[in-house]
């Protein structure tokens, strides 16, 4: 996502924030939505593994083995993805204007988010004639 400062306006992607309306910039951590992730995982596992078990029980041994191996590979991939998702933390840049708070940007790496918050606050503290100078 492109982040730039142009003529007193902060652009984050296609969202524009005029600098004079920004009152505060902060960072925070957002935990993943665990309940929804586990629920979606359980639904997907049930809807795929149950039919795969039934199909492998009523088919020939070779086809049954193929179905079982495919189902176990899928199950392993989904479980690994779920564990990775549940263990990550999103670092979020929040821009507050005179009227509302905006979640402007999120990343799993804290450093770029904190650096961007610092740069935005630095731009806010600069005189208007120095904002776009190198």
pLDDT in tens, 56-113: 778 788 888 888 888 889 889 999 999 998 988 889 999 998 888 888 888 889 999 9
Q: Where are the alpha helices (DSSP H) in the chain?
A: 34-58, 61-87, 110-125
HSE of 64, CA atoms in CB hemisphere, 13 A = 8
Contact yes or no for 86/36 (Cβ under 8 A): no
pTM above 0.75, yes or no: no
Reply yes or no on whether the pLDDT at 127 is more than 70: no
């Amino acid at each position: 996502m492109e982040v730039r400062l142009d003529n007193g306006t902060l652009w984050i992607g296609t969202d524009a924030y005029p600098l004079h309306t920004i009152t505060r910039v902060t960072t925070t951590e957002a935990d993943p939505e665990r309940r929804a992730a586990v629920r979606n995982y359980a639904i997907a596992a049930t809807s795929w593994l149950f039919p795969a078990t039934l199909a492998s029980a009523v088919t020939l041994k070779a086809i049954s083995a193929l179905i079982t191996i495919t189902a176990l590979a899928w199950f392993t991939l989904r479980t690994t993805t779920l564990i990775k998702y549940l263990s990550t933390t999103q670092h979020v840049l929040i821009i507050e204007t005179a009227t509302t708070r905006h979640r402007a940007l999120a990343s799993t790496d804290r450093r770029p988010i904190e650096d961007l918050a610092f740069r935005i606050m630095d731009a806010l503290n600069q005189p208007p004639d120095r904002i776009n100078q190198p």
